[in-house]
Structure 1
Amino acid sequence: TRNHVTQTATKSYPSPATKSYPLPATKRQAQFGLLFDIDGVIVRGRKILPHAVETFQKLIDTNGKFRVPTVFVTNAGNTMRHKKAQQLTDWLGVEITEQQVVMSHSPLRMFRQFHEKHCLISGQGPIVDIAKGLGFTKVTTVDQLRNCFPTLDAVDHKRRNHVPCAFERYFPRIGAVVLFGEPVRWETSLQLILDVLMSNGLPCESLPTAPYPHLPLLACNMDLQWMAEACMPRLCDRLCVCHL
């Protein structure tokens, strides 16, 4: 009888360490995730859209962690991922990590065949740091290129330099062009990028015919227009090169 009672008790009241209890709904592993665009969805320019903060408070638990996997994507390419994550954190009042942010240039990590090439890079912001963070080892900015070839940038008469550089012929040939985003002086970038493409990477050489196919040109963002806080769309000038 004692053995029967013991066996019954063991069967009816198993140890908490061995019994499988169903997890609360908030603790179960999510079978889906959320992917948010940033510009026009969370903010316009630097103005956060109404109800965005309130909405994201509903997506986190009592510890401030997201209830389901959440990722943020953006066409922006003029900043580092950790900077964008910090900006989102400040906007939303929710901790966003670098691993949750996908920039327009993030896929370039997979373009390893270009990482060892000498690349001309165009855009604004810390584009050298961005390029090196993605794996590119040999980069030249448009401003650095115009200093090496001073006669090429002739639009702004106030900064034209008619004296050629003695080291032009020692300049290492460019193997690819990377467009991170819209430059500040688009006319300079457009002209010098064209010079690089038409000369097959060495702007001090004038070829009898345009090379075809031309050097690889990697454009991180192919959007034709953007809007931000304006009432009408803005023309995205980097597309002048992308659509040649």
Structure 2
Amino acid sequence: LAMFPRSSVCRLGWRSVRLSRKATRAAASAQTLRRYSTDVCERDRSLFGLLFDIDGVLVRGRTPIPAAKQCFRNLVDGDGKYKVPVVFVTNAGNSLRETKAEQLSHLLEVEVSADQVVLSHSPLRVFTQFHELCVLVSGQGPVVEVAHNVGFKNVVTIDMLREANPLLDVVDHNRRPKDMIPPSKDLPPIDAVVLFGEPVRWETNLQLITDVLLTNGRPGNPVTSLHYPHIPVLACNMDLLWMAEAKNPRSVFQERCDH
């Protein structure tokens, strides 16, 4: 066996001690970092959340996308509670948040509350300058309830406007007055138009909204001059196309109103 001088042995021993100390410090640092990262994750868990678009991402029409169910199984714990905050956003606007939450709960097989749902008309809650005005609402479904739910106090529907002015909606011959012309009913002047979503009878909505805009909110009056700017139109959904379960995109009412 080769013999090393005592000085060489001392130097080798000191290097070993130094390397050992470095390794110990590195291990301790790594452990501290892991513990710190875990603490940060636990502390900031409430600051992290997920926003999910609904149509085309989680469902197509009323059909859930297969991977969506598995995704939400991973997002809830054994008690069905979300591991991180989750909010659902959609351009749909012809329903209440409670109704949409029930639909999502059924389709995704997880509990969804109304507070987790943001619809296209949800931002109207902050348009408080319009809440006391008389607004004409267009769409389908519970439009009056939706309008009251987001803060509007004085609501006129397309059907109310048509019944008050029966000669304005004459495209459908079956809905024209048959005998004597009924007198128009008094409605308050319309201060703004709110488009919640797709109407069923496009021709009726387009005609009456046009009448309201041309007459500055008094559709029973003749057009004497063009008012510009016209009364405000609050369009909740600005998408130009939508699909749902169809093979090709659908055109939207808002696009026709712009023209």
The TM-score bracket by the shorter chain reads: 0.7 to 0.9
For residue 91 of structure 2, what is the aligned residue in structure 1?
75
Q: Which amino acid aligns with 2:84?
A: V
Query: CA 1:165–1:214 in structure 2 vs 1: closer, same or farther (change >3 Å)?
Result: farther
- Equivalences, count: 222
Q: 1:132 aligns with which of 148, 152, 169?
A: 148
Per-residue displacement from partner, 1:85-140 (whole Å, max 9, x unpaired)? 11111111111111110000000000011111111000000010000011101101
Confirm or deny: 8 A CA contact 2:97 2:118 kept in the other structure: yes
Larger radius of gyration: 2
Q: Which runs of 5+ in 1 are unaligned?
A: 1-20
User: Which residue number corresponds to residue 166 of structure 1?
Assistant: 183
The one-letter code sitting in structure 1 at the alignment partner of 2:173 is: H
Residue identity matched to 2:177: N
What residue number does 2:221 align with? 205
User: 8 Å contact 2:63–2:107 — kept in the other structure?
Assistant: no
1:112, 1:219 → 2: CA distance? Answer: 16
SS in 1 for 2:75: coil
Match of 1:195 in 2: 211
Q: Say what the alpha-carbon RMSD is for the aligned residues.
A: 1.8
1:180/1:221 contact within 8 Å kept: yes
1:51 is paired with a residue whose SS is helix
The residue type equivalent to 2:228 in the other structure is Y
2:78 maps to which residue? 62
TM-score, with structure 2 as normaliser? 0.81
- Tell me what 1:43 maps to: 59
| Shift in Å, 1:61 | 1.6
Q: Does 1:150 align with 2:166?
A: yes
| Gapped regions of structure 2 (runs ≥ 5) | 1-34
Distance between the aligned counterparts of 1:171 and 1:164, measured in 2? Answer: 18
Partner SS, residue 66 of structure 1: coil
In 1: Cα distance, 2:157 partner to 2:223 partner: 23
Measure, in 1, the Cα distance between the counterparts of 2:177 and 2:52: 47
Pairwise CA distance, 1:25? 8.7
Determine the C-alpha separation between the residues in 2 that align with 1:188 and 1:111.
Answer: 27
**Amino acid aligned to 2:183:** A
* Alpha-carbon distance in 2 for matches of 1:160, 1:206: 20
What is the distance in 1 between the residues matched to 2:190 and 2:85? 41
Q: Choose which of 137, 142, 162 in structure 2 pairs with 1:121.
A: 137
| Percent of aligned pairs sharing the same letter | 54
Residues 23-77 of structure 1, C-alpha deviation per residue, up to 9 Å, x if partnerless?
A: 7898554242110000000100101111211111111122211111111001110
Measure how far apart 1:164 and its partner are.
Answer: 4.4
**Distance in 2 (alpha carbons) for counterparts of 1:59 and 1:25:** 20
The residue that corresponds to 1:14 in the other structure is none
Aligned AA for 1:155?
Answer: V
Structure number with the higher helix fraction is 2
Q: SS at 2:226's partner residue?
A: coil
Q: Which amino acid aligns with 1:62?
A: G
Q: Secondary structure at 2:177's aligned position in 1?
A: coil
Note if contact 2:49-2:84 (Cα within 8 Å) is conserved in structure 1.
yes
Structure 1 55/97 Cα, relative in aligned 2: closer, same or farther at 3 Å?
Answer: same
Instruction: Go from structure 1 to structure 2 and tell me whether the alpha carbon gap of 1:62 and 1:27 turns closer, same or farther (over 3 Å shift).
Output: farther
